[in-house]
Structure 1
């Protein structure tokens, strides 16, 4: 997404309005009026390839920012996924300002130094008395079971149910690992695993892709990424 001076100004005005409210909220904002844009479900290179929409009985429960690394090993010259690890941050109040502001936050996250980001969030937590960290994301040992555990004791243990390329103009990542944005995904709960939620969409990704062509490194490589995770619960 391209940001003009006018659009950035509008976003900042909205942010000031939220923070200047009589009882300002920094986390836990209502998502009742928020929906995934329809274009986010469609492969930008093949309109017949789509992610399934949320079911009629599914309700949006959380939107979180995942920031961490996509991990790869080099096997016979091919970069092979070893899953991902990410910290999850409450993004609901960014959407209360505007989807554009949430996109700015997502793009900015992948470009930040992890140590500086953690220190900044700790400072904001202390200043504002707000808990921004809402959970963790990791993979089970098979690297095929994305798992999300939240600080409120809810969780999703999932499997892949759909994949399309990242949206056009997505952030390619932090140099020198700016090889491109990982795909958008639809993840659904695996049966019998005790999940609280039914579906998670990984959208508006930034970074995380391995280099194109033959890989040359030894061992595992961690490539920074950020993404929005939209969390749905069956009602």
Structure 2
């Protein structure tokens, strides 16, 4: 019964009692009515404010990182759950266009002919859900959502034409093993798209969710991505922050030739 009152997989492994008022009471109620089979998409619709729609994104502040040693436990979770080394800020002249939570998998391969092989990353695949207004109006709540999403099933065959997916922003996948792509153009919305390259990265905080049910090999790094074609695509920079899960085991021992690791993260997209 205790599990019904505790968000067992919050972004920073804290119980619901750590949430700022009035979020704590709402989370208890939401979790009580959300069975273990509830998908992230169904859960996020319980947020007491539209996840899409019109809101002032100039009020949103991206959590690029801050030294953990300077953060007392009395600080809000949105300040404590930050990478130990900050990412560079968005480039001058860019504006925040969209914020989404991704839920999917990080994908890896193993060379089974090599006894000392380690997993090699070959990309990711995730569905993206619009949380722009939460980023603008309820940042303390947003910090918890990747951890919550990781504790819920990956939506099966998301279909942007279905009304249930009205908050589906689009999809994140890789064009090759090193080129992430964000496609936020669906039959319901046309936000933009673009291919990217890694510009910077920093390790996730030690308090980040390791994996589903608190079990796993850790959270993938926070990233800053820059556009492959700065003049030929809508989005110019993308940040992956507040990651949960996604890291592979340190070796390939006992692993398949290819495998997936569940993860979730916030994606902040700039134009």
Superposition TM-score tier, normalisation by shorter sequence: 0.7 to 0.9
Q: From the superposition, tell whether residues 31 and 180 of structure 1 become closer, same or farther in structure 2 (CA, over 3 Å).
A: same
CA distance in 2, matches of 1:104, 1:50: 19
RMSD of aligned Cα (Å): 3.4
CA distance in 2, matches of 1:20, 1:35: 20
Q: From the superposition, tell whether residues 56 and 105 of structure 1 become closer, same or farther in structure 2 (CA, over 3 Å).
A: same
Structure 1 gap ranges (5+) = none
CA distance in 2, matches of 1:98, 1:170: 20
Q: Which residue of 1 aligns with 2:169?
A: 134
Q: Which residue of 1 aligns with 2:101?
A: 65
TM-score by length of 2: 0.70
User: Is structure 2 residue 45 aligned with structure 1 residue 10?
Assistant: no
Q: From the superposition, tell whether residues 172 and 164 of structure 1 become closer, same or farther in structure 2 (CA, over 3 Å).
A: same
Deviations 1:80-103 (A, max 9, x none): 011000000001132245222112
Tell whether the 8 Å contact from 2:172 to 2:181 is kept in structure 1 after alignment: yes
Q: Which residue of 2 aligns with 1:167?
A: 205
Structure having the larger proportion of residues in strand: 1
Deviations 1:74-128 (A, max 9, x none): 1232100110000000011322452221122211111112258979xx99x55xx
TM-score by length of 1: 0.79
Q: From the superposition, tell whether residues 107 and 159 of structure 1 become closer, same or farther in structure 2 (CA, over 3 Å).
A: same
Structure 2 gap ranges (5+) = 1-11, 28-45, 70-82
Tell whether the 8 Å contact from 2:240 to 2:265 is kept in structure 1 after alignment: yes
1:30 to 56, 63, 74: 56
Q: Which residue of 1 aligns with 2:9?
A: none
Q: Report how far residue 192 of structure 1 moved.
A: 6.6
Deviations 1:28-64 (A, max 9, x none): 3331201113xx345769x995422112201111110
CA distance in 2, matches of 1:4, 1:109: 15
Q: Report how far residue 177 of structure 1 moved.
A: 6.0
Q: Which residue of 1 aligns with 2:118?
A: 78
Tell whether the 8 Å contact from 1:64 to 1:92 is kept in structure 2 after alignment: yes
Q: What SS class does the counterpart of residue 114 from structure 1 fall into? A: coil
CA distance in 1, matches of 2:266, 2:133: 13
Q: Which residue of 1 aligns with 2:7?
A: none
CA distance in 2, matches of 1:57, 1:232: 10
